[in-house]
Amino acid sequence: SQKIEQNSEALNIQEGKTATLTCNYTNYSPAYLQWYRQDPGRGPVFLLLIRENEKEKRKERLKVTFDTTLKQSLFHITASQPADSATYLCALYMGRRALTFGSGTRLQVQP
Amino acid sequence: DAGVTQSPTHLIKTRGQQVTLRCSPKSGHDTVSWYQQALGQGPQFIFQYYEEEERQRGNFPDRFSGHQFPNYSSELNVNALLLGDSALYLCASSRRGQGALSGNTIYFGEGSWLTVV
């Protein structure tokens, strides 16, 4: 079965720096990979989707890369702000209709 | 435009009891999926409903069942509750044909926190 690995250790960075989060998966390469943000006690919020034929996707200060050879996606937040502090989840499509999520990486941006 | 709404937000049940959680999808969405999220873990797929039928199911026992109504709202039922069922239960909605396979946005509700004691 597909497994997703995200760094379980929290990432602490200084405001203004670039945060880079990693998502590694096993087995087959998915057609799509998504990134979500989740704040404590809240539901996940969709951020970005990248397709297998796309190497990079950008949205404002966010950038996602997708390397099907390495079976890895990187999620970058440039010019990070304390408001970016949250848990970030990587998700792949399992079967035709369901998402498989990683356990998430908690990001803490220090002012 | 209301997003995905779930009820109740919090509840406490005793082992062996049964619970029903409810979800109203985002306006215009017809597909509802349920996920279980244990503390410190990512959401795990339970099942998905479209056209009032269960279309796909994750690795959850038959104690977990669901229903979708003609207005697209959905219920998740869990029987014979175990301590390990304590989790955040998330409902996600999308539009059939414009959801997972086409890569369009899936919207999550804020979840129902279930504590089993």
A30, pLDDT greater than 90: no
Task: Report the alpha-carbon distance of residue B15 to residue B11 in Å, rounded.
Answer: 13
In chain B, what is the straight-line distance between the N-terminal and C-terminal CA atoms, in Å? 37
Per-residue pLDDT tens over the stretch B71-82: 999 999 999 999
Q: What is the mean pLDDT of residues A13-27?
A: 94
SS3 for chain A is: CCCEEECCCCEEEECCCCEEEEEEECCCCCCEEEEEEECCCCCCEEEEEEECCCCEEEECCEEEEEECCCCEEEEEECCCCHHHCEEEEEEEEECCCEEEECCCEEEEEEC
Q: Which whole number is the average pLDDT over B3-25?
A: 97
Task: Choose among B3, B19, B20: nearest CA to B75.
Answer: B20
Q: How confident is the model at residue A96 (pLDDT cuts 50, 70, 90)?
A: low
Q: How is residue B39 written in tokens?
A: 């503390």
Out of B40, B45, B105, the one facing A98 most closely (by C-beta) is B45
pLDDT of res. B7: 98
Pairing of strands A4-6, A62-67: unpaired
Disruptive mutation site among A97, A100, A106 for chain B (greatest number of B CBs within 10 Å): A97
Q: Which member of A32, A45, A94 has the closest CB to residue B103?
A: A32
Residue B95 binned pLDDT confidence (cut-offs 50, 70, 90): confident
Q: How confident is the model at residue B98 (pLDDT cuts 50, 70, 90)?
A: low
Shortest distance, CA A24 to any CA of chain B (angstroms): 14
Chain A residues 22-81 with a CB less than 8 Å from chain B = 31-32, 41-46, 49, 51
Mean pLDDT for all residues in chain B? 92
Residues of B in contact with A5 (CB under 8 A): none
